[in-house]
Structure formats: C-alpha cells, structure tokens
Structure 1
Amino acid sequence: MGSGTVSAPGHVPIDPNPSAASAPGEVNLDDSTRQVPSPLASGVISPALDLLKSLLKQQGYEVSNPAACTDDTTLLRFLRAQRFNPEQALQQFHSAQKWRQENNIPSFYQDMDIDYYEETRKMYPQWIGRRDNDGHAIYIFPVRHLTKKMLGAYLKKISSCPSSKAHRPSNLLPEDLHFHALYENLLQFVFPLVSDLPRPDMSTPISASTHIVDVSGVSIRQFWSIRKYLQQASATATIHYPETLAKVFVIGAPAFFKSIWDVISQWFDPVTRSKIFLLSSSEANAVLRQYIDPANLPVKYGGILKWEWQDLPNLDVHARRLVDNLYEKTDQGEIFAKGPVIFENGCIKLLGTINGKPRRNNYCPR
C-alpha cells in the first residue's frame, strides 16, 4: 500500500535509516523489524537474566531488590537494550546506576515539592491511567500545547524551586532533576502497578509504555522553537532509561512533517526508530483501536474514555482495587493524589513535600 494508507501489521516497515523513513500515513507494527530478540523468545530470557544476576552479585549488587533497581523488570530493560548480552547489559546498568546515585535521583523524587512536580508533569507525556491490549501504560502528548512561551515560563518558574536548589550532591539543572523525577514515577509507580494488573501474558513484568504523540496543529516555526528541548529529553531518556518504549504512535502529521521527521529520527537509535509509527489524522483512530480498547482510549482519539490533556490518571476498575487510597473524596468528587508516589509490594507510598514539610503516607493491604 502507498503513503496515506494503513496496512495490516507488519506490511510497511519503517526503515531504520532516517533518510528512508516512512512518510506520514504509513505504519509498521511488525516486531521482526526491531532486530532484538522477542521477550517471549524461548530459551533467551531466563539464561541471560540468570547470568546478568550472577554478574551483578559478583559486582556487589543485591539482586531482586526494587530499591536497588535490580528487580527483573529493570534488568530485562537493560538486557533488551543490549540484545540480551549480559556483559554489555551489566556495563550499561552499572553506568546508569552510578549516575543515578551520584545525582541522588531517588532522594529528590521522594523530597521534591508536590506543586513543582505537577508543573513538570504538564510539560511532558502524561499517563492517562489506562493500558493498551498488551498491558503497557498509555501516555499522551499533544505537542501543540508546548509553545516557546509556555516553555520559557516553565523554565523560569522551575529555576526557583526550593527543593532542587537544596538538593545535593547533584549539579543537574532544576529542569533536569524534575524531568528525571517523572521517570522515577514511571519506574517506581506506573510499571509496578500495571505489572500487577491482568493482561494476556502475566509471565513477564511490564517494563515499557505506549505513547500517543499528537502533532496536529504544530507549525514548523513552533517545532523549531522547541526542538532542543525535545531533543535533550529524548537523548536523556535513551541513555538513562533504555527500553521503556513499547510503541509510539505519531498522529495528525501535517504535510510538511516528513521534513521534520528527517530531523527527529536522527535523535533515536535504529531500534527506537522501529517502534515509531506515523499515522495521518484520517486513519489514526482506526489504527489505535486495533491496539487499545475503546474503553481505554480517550474520546478525542476514537475511544470512549473521558480524559483530556492535563487531567490526572483515570484508573480502570482493576487498578482502583489496588490503589483506591490514591483518591481523595471531596465535595467536588474524587481527586487523584498529586505528586510523587511509589507502588511496592502492594503498598502505596505518598511522598514529596507540601509547604516544605515531608508527606509520608503509606497504605498497605490488610
């Protein structure tokens, strides 16, 4: 099929070479193009994971400890990033953890100001509280909302954040610290929660998310004014948080987007590029419904879910049963808890600071 049509999964591959990337309207959903062993490949995961754990023990790590990032979910991400080569996965893991500890990222996440966390959440893809048909958390990002003016106002405000100024020993800029805090939320709350929810394959924990990136209404001028911000975020995620993307659906691409894609595609490695699928406005809703149940897809994108940009997560009934304490009952209805939160061993930990005072509320099943 030609440009402007959606093929059956796997019919039109997106070439890892950015100069040959598919035009908007073409889609590739064939896992075979990724050149990475399938996580379900028989005889691949278990031996590689066991060897990586053995190597970690030799290096003094305590394995199977979520607090030390040596849980299976995390280790599988690094194995996938290195094509299930345990030695190379160990090197990348060690480098990432050393950086994380040197900058004390977990501590910042636990102690950051809740209001500033919410300001940062509005600048990046947001979890809608739902999952795709494979169980991956769904994030949505309408790029048109990220204007140069909005970005400038955010950077100015976040630079005055008291918790980032006081955070030591990190020399990261306040906006960088807050960006990493969002990934801590992904790793310490979203992934553990969705891994406990029913899905087709319960044998492997969830370690990746599905993104819908809406580029409708974005002009070349707007994109050019925010490109460095987007590029830095993409590069940082690739280095420090490998293999956290399952699929990225780029929808609503205007006619000129092919020239922009030639620039954007160079930000990613070939494996990541193979996960990005470009869809035109006319076909996006139908394709999204192939991979996301309408009940878990916002109305704007062809589903029936009541969720709009900047809304807090709208959890499904299965998630509500596990973390119902995240909802505060008010006269205006139920409000999802704001700020940093951790889900570990079935327990919820509400963290962060409010007016300089730590919030430490734990809820565990009886």
Structure 2
Amino acid sequence: MSDISHSTPEQLVAAIPVSDDRGQSLEAFKSKLHNAGLYQPPSDDTPASHDDTTLLRFLRARRYDIDKAQKQFSDTETWRKQHNVDELFRTFETNEMESSRRFYPRWTGRRDKTGLPVYVYRLASLDTPLRKELESVSAERRYQRIVALYEAMTLFVLPLCSHLSAPTSISSVTTIIDLEQVTLSAMWSLRSHLQVASTMATANYPETLHTIAIVNSPSFFPTIWNWIKTWFDEGTRSKIHILGKNPGPTLRSLIDEKDIPQSYGGQLPWKFEDDPDLDDAIKETIGDMPKGPVLFVDGSIVKP
C-alpha cells in the first residue's frame, strides 16, 4: 500500500481486521511481563494490573513479537511513572479538560458499524485566536492535556463502547480528519502541536487508531504529507485514507448514515465544536455525557 491510500468503500471494509485467537501469545506475554515485574495477574481480592485489551494492543503494535512488545510496554510504564499519569488524570481540573477538547480530535458520541467510537478533527476550527490561546499555554501543560485526553479515551470511551459491543472488545477508534479551509500557513503553525500528539500516542497508546479518513484535502496535501508521514510507523500510515471532497459514499461503508455528521454526507446534526451527541444505546447506559476525568468500569461511571 502506498503512503497515501485513496480507498474505495470495499477496500475500507476489508481493512477492518477479523478477530483471531491470540490466546497463547497473550498468555506468554503476561508470563514474561509478570517475570519482569511489569504485570500482576488477578487474585481473589484484586483485578489484574492491566486488562487483556491493553496488553493485546501492545502485542498487535509489534506484530506479536513478544520481546518487542515487552520493550514498548516497559518503556510506556516508565513514561507513565515519569509523568505521573494516573495522578495527572485523577486530579485534572474539569473545566480545563473540557476546554482542551477544542484543540484535539473529539468524540461525536457515535460509533461505526463495528462499534468503534467515531472521532472528528476539524483543523480549520483551530483558527488564529484559538491557536494563540493554545500557544499561550506552556509546552509542558499542553503535553499534559494531550495525556489526559488519551486517558479519557482509553479509560472511558473505549470501555463504554466495549460494554455495548460485548463480547467484542473495542480498543481503537475511527477518526475523520477534516482539512476544509485549512491553509498551508495554518498547517505549518500547527505542525509542532500535531507532531507531539502523534508521537506520544504512537509510543504510549499503540493501536488505538483503527482508521483515519482524511476529507476535504487541499491541493497542497502532498506537501503536508511529506511533513507528517515520518511521525507514524508503517502500520499507522497504512490506516490513513484520503476520501476527497465527497466522502459520504465511502464513509457510509464504515458508519451508518445516521451517525455521520451532516458536513460529511450523513444525517447527524453535529459540528466539531459540539459536545458528544450520544446514540440511544449510550444514553440508555450512562444518561448524559459526564464531564472531566471519569472511568467506565463494569457498566458504570466511576471517578478515578
């Protein structure tokens, strides 16, 4: 597959991986992590230190090479301790978290046909005033915001969608990146912001991006791609699909029309600036969308 994939609906459907039994690899991985002091199996009183869904993400990221997966997992555990990730998320101020969502991909509150949450990132919404607001925050705090939002995705959105898709485990998202009305200068000014988020996610939240659909790409997109393709490993690059100015037919192969925002040929009256518009099953499960740092555990919303 070339770096930039111009995909048909059939190709995108085929890109959805079929589940297979990797139980033996997972058990061997757990044993190796346990021997290295990186994993604690469940006991009568306590759950496992890490769930199977998380461990499988690291295995998939390294094509089930257990030694390489252990190296990435160990590096991530070190990174989490260095940045005190658990405490950062637990104590993150609610208003700041909600405000930070304006700068990053946002969950629409809907899911694709396989149960994966659908995110949207409209870069033109990061206009000059918003970019200035972003840049007024220290680089360290911007990084912490990214971490907090990734924790929110992996600890709340993905477990919630897994609960609704049981017994299928949901561990990744489908993302629409909208480049309508984005200028080359705006992209250049955002390059550091985007690179930090992409690099951090690839290293520490592997295999959370299932499909990236880029819509409304400008004529200078090949130039942009030359900047950004080095931020991703080959596996992630293969998941990026360029859908052009009329993404509706292709998106409908992935997402029900009622769950596609109207801007992209669907029926959902949702814009990037909006809070999640929860589908009926999600509303029935959690009611309103909670604010701030929360977890979804065993069918319930829990404060960290």
TM-score (norm 1): 0.76
Alignment of 1:2-17 (within 5 A): 13=1, 15-16=2-3
The answer on 1:40 being equivalent to 2:4 is: no
Secondary structure of 1:140 counterpart: strand
Deviation at 1:211, TM superposition (A): 0.2
Q: Which amino acid aligns with 1:122?
A: R
Q: Find 1:253's aligned residue among 217, 220, 225.
A: 217
| 1:95-134 pair list within 5 angstroms | 95-134=75-114
Which residue is 1:213 aligned to? 177
TM-score relative to the length of structure 2: 0.91
Q: How does 1:1-366 map to 2 (within 5 A)?
A: 13=1, 15-16=2-3, 21-22=4-5, 26-27=6-7, 29=11, 38=17, 40-41=19-20, 43=21, 45-60=22-37, 61-63=39-41, 70-156=50-136, 158-159=137-138, 173-198=140-165, 202-282=166-246, 284-324=247-287, 327=288, 336-350=289-303
- Residues 192 and 229 (structure 1), Cα distance of their counterparts in 2 relative to 1, 3 Å cut: same
Choose between structure 1 and 2 for higher RCO, CA contacts under 8 A separated by at least 6 residues: 2
Q: CA deviation at 1:179?
A: 0.8
Give 1:50 shift. Answer: 1.0
Letter in 1 for 2:33: L
- Shifted more, 295-304 versus 183-192: the winner is 295-304
Structure 1 residues 350, 311: closer, same or farther in 2, change over 3 A?
farther
- Partners of 2:142 and 2:179 in 1: how far apart? 23
Distance 2:245 2:260 in 1: 16
Q: What one-letter code is carried by the residue in structure 2 that aligns with 1:251?
A: V
| Structure 1: distance between partners of 2:126 and 2:42 | 39
Q: Which moved further from structure 2: 115-124 or 56-65?
A: 56-65
C-alpha deviations, 1:43-102, integer Å up to 9, x for none?
Answer: 5x1111111111122223213699876101101100000101222212211110121022
Partner SS state of residue 103, structure 2: coil
1:108 CA displacement: 1.1
Q: What is the CA–CA distance in structure 2 between the aligned matches of 1:32 and 1:212, rounded to whole Å?
A: 18
Root-mean-square deviation (Å): 2.3
Query: Which structure shows the bigger proportion of residues in helix conformation?
Result: 2
User: SS where residue 164 of structure 2 aligns?
Assistant: coil
Report how many aligned residue pairs link the two structures: 299
CA contact (8 A) 1:64 1:72 kept: no
Q: How much has 1:105 moved relative to structure 2?
A: 0.9
What does residue 169 of structure 1 align with?
none
Tell me if the contact between 2:41 and 2:47 (Cα under 8 Å) persists in the aligned partners.
no
Counterpart residue type for residue 40 of structure 2: E
Larger radius of gyration: 1
1:287-319 CA distance string (max 9 Å, x none): 111110012111111111221112111111211
Equivalence for 1:168: none
Mapped partners of 1:47, 1:206: distance in 2: 20
Secondary structure of 2:97's counterpart equals helix
Give the Cα–Cα distance (whole angstroms) in 2 for the partners of residues 102 and 345 of structure 1: 29
SS of the residue corresponding to residue 53 of structure 2 reads helix
Contact 1:210 1:246 in 2 (8 A): yes
SS in structure 1 opposite 2:152?
A: helix
Contact 2:89 2:151 in 1 (8 A): yes
How much has 1:266 moved relative to structure 2? 2.1
User: Is contact 1:109–1:181 with CA below 8 Å preserved after alignment?
Assistant: yes
| Amino acid aligned to 1:348 | I
